[in-house]
């Protein structure tokens, strides 16, 4: 359904506009245990529950859900709470993606090398005699 896809596009834009940079997103279709002809009266493409004036929205075909996910470069899963199809996989997938994003962010923030500078020869020559000897030796 076109209005449902437009709603999802709007939610994704709002997320990109108001959430922190590089927030992880995933698109999940539900009711995968039903064939498409039977699930036409159920929501099959959800991001955080979808209702419009209390009416349940019609289904979106799998191909359109996948195309929308591809358009935004996000993963797409079809799930079924009834049969437990892909339910754990969705959670594990987003958890892995979040963990990887955090690792990548940490790696970018940390320098990959440590720079050790030699003391200036001219400045260090006069100071060497003033330094106390190690361990009390003279």
3-class SS string, 2-49? HHHHHHHHHHHHHHHHHCCCCCCCEEEECCCCCCCCCHHHCCCCECCC
DSSP reduced 3-state for 79:
coil
Instruction: Tell me the per-residue pLDDT of 13-41, one tens digit each, with 9 for 90 and over.
Output: 999 999 988 899 999 998 888 876 555 43
User: Rounded to the nearest 10 degrees, what angle do helices 62-72 and 2-18 cross at?
Assistant: 30
Instruction: Tell me the per-residue pLDDT of 92-136, one tens digit each, with 9 for 90 and over.
Output: 999 999 999 999 988 888 766 777 888 876 655 555 556 666 666
Domain count, the chain: 1
Q: Does 97 fall in a domain?
A: yes
Instruction: Tell me the per-residue pLDDT of 80-103, one tens digit each, with 9 for 90 and over.
Output: 999 999 999 999 999 999 999 999
**Range of the structural domain that residue 10 is part of:** 2-106
Share the mean pLDDT of the chain.
78
Give the CATH number, domain containing residue 102: 3.40.50.300
Q: What's the confidence (pLDDT) of residue 47?
A: 40
Q: Does 60 fall in a domain?
A: yes
């Amino acid at each position: 359904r076109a209005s449902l896809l437009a709603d999802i596009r709007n939610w994704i834009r709002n997320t990109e506009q108001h959430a922190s940079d590089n927030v992880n997103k995933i698109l999940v279709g539900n009711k995968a245990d039903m064939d498409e002809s039977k699930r036409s009266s159920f929501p099959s493409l959800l991001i955080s529950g979808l209702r419009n004036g209390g009416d349940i929205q019609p289904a979106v075909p799998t191909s359109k859900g996948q195309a929308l996910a591809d358009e935004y470069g996000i993963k797409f899963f079809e799930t079924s709470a009834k049969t437990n199809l892909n339910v754990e996989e969705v959670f594990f997938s987003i958890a892995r993606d979040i963990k990887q994003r955090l690792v990548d962010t940490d790696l970018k923030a940390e320098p990959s090398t440590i720079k050790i500078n030699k003391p200036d020869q001219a400045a260090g020559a006069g100071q060497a005699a003033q330094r106390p000897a190690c361990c009390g030796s003279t």
